[in-house]
Amino acid sequence: MKVSGLRLVFFAAFLFIAVSLLGGTALWQLAGSGNALDIEGRAVLVRSVPAAGPAGWTAYGGDAAGTHYSPASQISIGNVARLDTAWVYRTGAFAGREHVRDQASFEATPIMVEDSLVFCTPFNEVISLDPGTGEEKWRYDPRVPLDADPANEYNCRGVSYWRDARAVPGAVCGSRIFMGTVEARLVALDARTGKPCTEFGDHGVVRIEPGLALRWPGEFQITSAPAIAGDVVITGTAIGDNLRTAAPVGTVHAYDARSGALRWTFNPIPWSRAGDGENVGHANVWSTMSVDRKRDLVFLPTSSASPDYYGGARPGNNEHANSVVALHARSGEVAWARQLVHHDVWDYDLPAQPGLYEIWRDGILHEVVVQVTKMGLVFVLDRASGRPFHPIEERAVPQAGSDGELLSPTQPFPVVPPPIVPATLNPEDAFGVTLWDKLVCESRLRGLRHEGLYTPPGIGGSLAYPFSGGGANWGGGAFDPQRNLLVINMNNIGSEVYLYPDVEDRAAVARLSHDSEFAPMEGAPFGMSREVILSPLGLPCTPPPWGVIAGVDLDSGEIVWRKALGTTEDVAPGGLPLPFGLPGFGGPIITGGGIVFIAATMDYYLRALNVETGEELWKGRLPAGGQATPMTYMWRGRQYVVIAAGGHGKSGTKSGDYVIAFALGV
C-alpha cells in the first residue's frame, strides 16, 4: 500500500497556518485532543530470567527464530548517549541506475557471518564488509534487468547463510550466501569470496517459474531472505496485487542447498482451480519465514488469495491464505495451520516474520509463535500445535458486501493482547488543525461506510482503519527473553477504498486524485481504488500519533508502555519536530543492554529506547530514510549497531546508499 499520499510536503501548509494562528503549544494541544490514541508511559519490569546465546546476527531476524534479539550488552542504558558514528559505507548502487531510483527501497538488514557483514542492495548486489572498518571485501552483481518495473519495487531485505556440515574446512562453497532476485532467481554464492557456487542449479542459479505467463517481468519477484532448515533452502515470492483473479499461485519452493535440486513445493491454496480460466492465485509468502530447528519446522506467513478486494471467485474461508502455516521442513507437509483472517477482502495479508519465542509463566517455559498483523492485532500460538496460547475468539463482523461476495460472518480476535492501534473512528473525532480542516475531514469520513474492523469494501466507499500498510508491516517485532516483552511498532493511518462496477469507465478513474492507487482486478466484476485519507492541508484525517511503538508483556498480554514514534522534523518547514508520530517501515531490535534500537520513521534517525519504559535515550542522525531494521554484533571487543539508510520509494523518504555503523565513543 502506497503511503506517499502523505506527501510529506503536506506539513508546509499545515505548519504555516497552525504556527501562525495557533502557536506551537496550542498546536500540540489540538493534536492530542478528540479520540487520539491514548499513550501510556509507565515503567513495568516483567519477569527476569537469564538470557544466553552468542552476541552475533546470523540471520535476517537475528536468528532463524526471528527474535530480533542479541545478548550483546556493552551498549547499555547508562552509556548509550555516548554512541557515535564508527564508519560509513556507500554502496554506489545507483550508479547507472538513476532512472529507476524512485522505484527502489533500501530495506536490507546485514548478517554477521564468516567474520563479515553481508547484505544486498535494492538491485540484488551482494556486498561483504569488514565488521570493524566498513571496508568492502567482495561484491557480486547478478545484473538484474532495469526494465522489470517490479510491483514491490527494486528491493532486497536480506540474504541467508548456510554452512555445509559435510564440507572440509576451507572448501569452496563450504559455506554459502543465498539470495532471491527481482526476477525470481535464487542465487548461491561462496560466503568467503562472493563467487557463484557452480554446482548449485545452473552455475549458481535456480530460476523459479510463476506457473502463468507474466504481464510484465516484475510481477513475480523475491524480496525477502530465504529460510534455511538443515540442508534445505526455502523461498517464497512477492507477486503484484490486484491485477487479476487469474494470477500466479504463491507456491513455496524448497531446494537442496548443495545441488539446487527441487526437494518439495507447497501450494497454500490447493483448492484454487489453476489453469481453467477461473484460476485463483497468490496466498504467497512475500515476507520472511522462521525455522524451529529442534522440531524441523518452517513457519510461513501467507498472504491473501487474488484479488485482494473481491472474493466472489473464491468462496469460503480460503485456507491456507492469511495464515500461519507450519510445515515439516524436510517434506513440505503441513504440521498445522492457523488462519488469522477469513476470506480476506481488505489486503490484510500476514506481513511479518512469525516470531518463535520462549515465554516464562509460573516458572515454566512455553514455546510460542507470535504473529503481528496489519490489523493492529497480535496473535500468540502454541508452537507445537498452533492452538492459542492466549485465547482467540470468533467475533461477528460487518456483512452486506459487494454483489457476488460471500463474506465470513466472523473473524478471529485475540482476547489479549489488546489492539496496539485503534480500528474504529467516529467522524466527529476527525483530526484538523483548523475548524475548516477538521470539518472537511468529518464530512469525508461521514461519506464512507465504517462499522469498525473488517468493514467490507463497496461502491459507495469504505474506511479501512488501519489501512493496508499496517498496523504492523514487514519490519515485525522484537522479543526480550529476560522480560517476556514484545516490542512492536505500528502505523495508525486510515484509507478510503472504492469498488468500481465498470472498470472500463475511465472517467470514473480520472476522478481519482493523483495519490489514489487504482487496480483493475481483471476477472472480477469490480475495479478498486484506495488512498490515504488526507485533509485539504494534506494531513491525515485520522488522529495522531500516526506511528507508535509499544511494549507488550507476552505472559499477561498487557500493553505495558506505548509511545508515539517519530517527529515532523524532516517533513516540516524549518525542521519543527512535533511529536506526532509518523508512519514507518522497518522493525525494532533489542539488546542485552536493555536497549531497543529502531529507525523506520519518516524522520531520519536511528533511535535508542529504554526497553522497560519506551523512553528515548539517544538518537543518531541519518543522511537518508532509515526504512530498514537495524542489527548489532560484537567485533574484537566492541559492540556495533548497523542500519541501512537509503529511503523507501513508496513512502517518499530521501533515497541513498548508506550503511552506517554506530559504536561507543572513546
Phi/psi of residue 103, each to 5°?
Answer: -100, 10
Question: Does the pLDDT at position 23 exceed 60?
Answer: no
Residue 269 C-alpha cell reads as: 491454496
Question: Does the pLDDT at position 394 exceed 80?
Answer: yes
- Mean pLDDT computed over 637-651: 92
Say what the pLDDT of residue 444 is: 94
DSSP state of 445: H
Say what the pLDDT of residue 38 is: 52
Lowest mean pLDDT, pick from 40-44, 499-503, 599-603: 40-44
pLDDT tens for each residue of 291-345: 999 999 999 999 999 999 999 999 999 999 999 999 999 999 999 999 999 999 9
Question: Does the pLDDT at position 543 exceed 50?
Answer: yes
347 is catalytic: yes
Angle between helix 24-31 and 10-21 (nearest 10): 120
Q: Is 662 in contact with 632 (CB distance < 8 Å)?
A: no
- Mean pLDDT computed over 113-117: 97
282-321 burial, b at 16+ Cβ within 10 Å, e below that, comes to: bbbbbbbbbbbeeebbbbbbbbbbbbbbbbbbbeebbbbb
Comparing C-alpha atoms, which of 83, 10, 86, 90 is closest to residue 623?
90
- Where is pLDDT greater, at 445 or 278? 445
Integer Cα distance of 46 and 452 in angstroms? 32
Tell me which residue range forms the domain holding 514: 4-664
* Annotated catalytic residue, options 308, 344, 347, 657: 347
Say what the pLDDT of residue 121 is: 98
Question: Does the pLDDT at position 32 exceed 50?
Answer: no
Query: For the chain, how many structural domains are there in total?
Result: 1
Which pLDDT band holds residue 354 (cuts at 50, 70, 90)?
very high
Integer Cα distance of 572 and 19 in angstroms? 11
- Where is pLDDT greater, at 194 or 218? 194
Say what the pLDDT of residue 162 is: 98
Comparing C-alpha atoms, which of 343, 347, 583, 380 is closest to residue 479?
380
The highest-confidence range among 10-19, 427-436, 558-567, by mean pLDDT, is 558-567
- Where is pLDDT greater, at 198 or 56? 198
Lowest mean pLDDT, pick from 26-40, 156-170, 261-275: 26-40
Say what the pLDDT of residue 516 is: 65
Q: Is 58 in contact with 117 (CB distance < 8 Å)?
A: no
Integer Cα distance of 574 and 568 in angstroms? 10
Say what the pLDDT of residue 439 is: 95
pLDDT tens for each residue of 408-417: 999 999 999 9
pLDDT tens for each residue of 10-21: 444 444 444 434
Comparing C-alpha atoms, which of 480, 479, 454, 478 is closest to residue 468?
454
Say what the pLDDT of residue 503 is: 64
Say what the pLDDT of residue 538 is: 83
Integer Cα distance of 86 and 636 in angstroms? 14
- Mean pLDDT computed over 526-537: 91
Which pLDDT band holds residue 515 (cuts at 50, 70, 90)?
low
- Mean pLDDT computed over 78-85: 97
Cis peptide before 217 (omega within 30 of 0): no
- Mean pLDDT computed over 286-292: 98
Residue 576 C-alpha cell reads as: 519543527
Average pLDDT, rounded, for the chain: 90
Say what the pLDDT of residue 7 is: 42
Say what the pLDDT of residue 56 is: 86
- Mean pLDDT computed over 438-443: 95
Say what the pLDDT of residue 666 is: 61
- Mean pLDDT computed over 23-27: 35
Q: Is 289 in contact with 258 (CB distance < 8 Å)?
A: no
Lowest mean pLDDT, pick from 41-55, 276-290, 589-603: 41-55
- Mean pLDDT computed over 603-622: 97
Integer Cα distance of 645 and 570 in angstroms? 14
Say what the pLDDT of residue 353 is: 98
Say what the pLDDT of residue 655 is: 93
Which pLDDT band holds residue 573 (cuts at 50, 70, 90)?
confident
Which pLDDT band holds residue 505 (cuts at 50, 70, 90)?
low
What CATH number should be reported for the domain holding residue 625?
Answer: 2.140.10.10
